[in-house]
Structure 1
Amino acid sequence: MPSPDWNARFSDSEYAYGTEPNEFLVQQAFRVSGPVLSIAEGEGRNAAYLASNGHCVHAVDGSAVGLAKAVKLADQNGVQISTEVSDLSDYEPAENAFGSIISIYAHLDGSIRRRLYPLLAKALKPGGILILEAYSENQIGRGTGGPGDVDLLMSCSKIENEFVGLETVCLHEIEREVHEGKFHTGMASVIQYVGRKAE
């Protein structure tokens, strides 16, 4: 299955993944401190939520169309976010700059993850946390969301091997109902991860 044309997917007036924040992020929001970096933020549902909680949020995505909708959504929620159009294959966040990093359904090629994930760990301030939810390898064939390429899907072992420099706070694979717009709908197998940078 080819990767979506994200500008085309986000060009509709409807929000492809809805406007409500990710459920796992909401559950873990008590851990979040700012400033926050959200990678592959898309149309802004998670960034707007975190900004509404009083955090300074920087949203990065490869789609200018998606980020324009993110700014609009934040405005509708009475908050502001900063945005940056960047291809994650060569994105380099500043070191020791963020209290939290959010990765919600950012399905990346293994080669991109192995370059980017250590940089994300370095981008956290001491004691900072990273929150991730992504479809697992066992999501293949379910038809309820996510890419069809196993390399783009996550596993607990991939997390352990690729997030160098973070202590695991939470890491598991579970099945749960996901209802996030028209592209993420139904019972799904997901990886949920929280990692912390040492003080």
Structure 2
Amino acid sequence: MSQPDWNARFAETEFAYGAEPNSFLVQNASWLKAPVLSIAEGEGRNAVFLAAQGLNVHAVDSSHVGLAKAERLAASKSVIISTEVVDLQDFAPEPNAYGGAVSIYAHLPSPLRTRLYPLLVKTLKPGGVLILESYAENQIGRGTGGPSNLDLLMTCDKVERELVGLETILLQETEREVIEGKFHTGLASVIQYVGKKPI
């Protein structure tokens, strides 16, 4: 989905993916140390949750409309997040800058993942943790959310090939009910990953 489409999606009053955080992130947030980088953050539900846990969070997204909504959500919860409008094609976070990184339903084409994922590993400090949840290739045809382009969907094998340099804490494909706004609703096949940068 291109940036103008994301701006249009996020322009609606309601939150496209809900205002509550992703449940897999909630279950594993204790792994994260500040500061935390959240890519493709959208309307801020996950960044605001992490900020409410006392973490400094830097949220990046291509949609200025989504991030403006994220800042309003943060203000409504009396927390502060930092935001940055970026095209992930050009995004290059500083090495050894973050104690955690979060990629929740950031469905990226494989050439972009090949460029970006090594940078996410490098931006983690030693001991830093990356948390990822994505729709799996097996999500195709379910009609409960996610892209219809196979290249944008993940498998455990893709994670192992593309996120090199982290020690796997958890990697699995599972089916679960995803209830996150009107675009992510229903039984879904997902990839879940937690990886730690060696100390």
| Residue 111 (structure 1) aligns with | 111
Q: Secondary structure at the match of 1:125?
A: strand
User: C-alpha separation between the residues in 1 aligned to 2:165 and 2:2?
Assistant: 30
Aligned to 1:47: 47
1:15 partner SS:
coil
Write the distance in 1 (CA, Å) between the matches of 2:111 and 2:152.
Answer: 10
Tell me the distance in 1 between the aligned counterparts of 2:90 and 2:151: 18
Find the counterpart in structure 1 of residue 150 from structure 2. Answer: 150
Separation in structure 2 between the aligned mates of residue 44 and residue 23 of structure 1, nearest angstrom = 14
Offset from partner CA, 1:120-165 (integer Å, 9 cap, x none): 0000000000000000000000000000000000000000000011
How many residues are matched?
A: 198
| 2:162 equivalent in structure 1 | 162
Match of 1:102 in 2: 102
Q: Percent identity?
A: 67
Q: Which residue is equivalent to 1:178?
A: 178
Alignment of 1:74-85 (within 5 A): 74-85=74-85
The residue type paired with residue 198 of structure 2 is A
Q: Secondary structure at the match of 1:189?
A: strand
CA contact (8 A) 1:127 1:198 kept: yes
Task: Give the conservation status (yes or no) of the 8 Å contact 1:56–1:81.
Answer: yes
Name segments (4+ residues, structure 1) moved above 3 Å: none
Counterpart-to-counterpart distance in 1, 2:122 and 2:2: 28
Tell me which residue corresponds to 1:12: 12
- Please give the root-mean-square deviation of Cα atoms over the aligned residues, in Å: 0.9
* Kept in 2: contact 1:140–1:150 (CA 8 A): yes
Contact 1:3 1:147 in 2 (8 A): no
Q: Which runs of 5+ in 1 are unaligned?
A: none
Offset at residue 90 of structure 1 (A)? 1.4
Verify the 8 A CA contact 1:125 1:197 in the aligned structure 2.
yes
Per-residue deviation, residues 5-51 of structure 1 (Å, max 9, x unmatched): 10000000100000000000000011111000000000000000000
Structure 2 unmatched ranges of 5 or more: none
TM-score, normalised to structure 1's length? 0.98
CA distance in 2, matches of 1:123, 1:154: 22
| Mapped partners of 1:52, 1:65: distance in 2 | 22
TM-superposed CA distance for 1:3, in Å, is: 5.5
One-letter code aligned to 2:155:
S
Q: Any idea what SS the aligned residue of 1:55 has?
A: coil
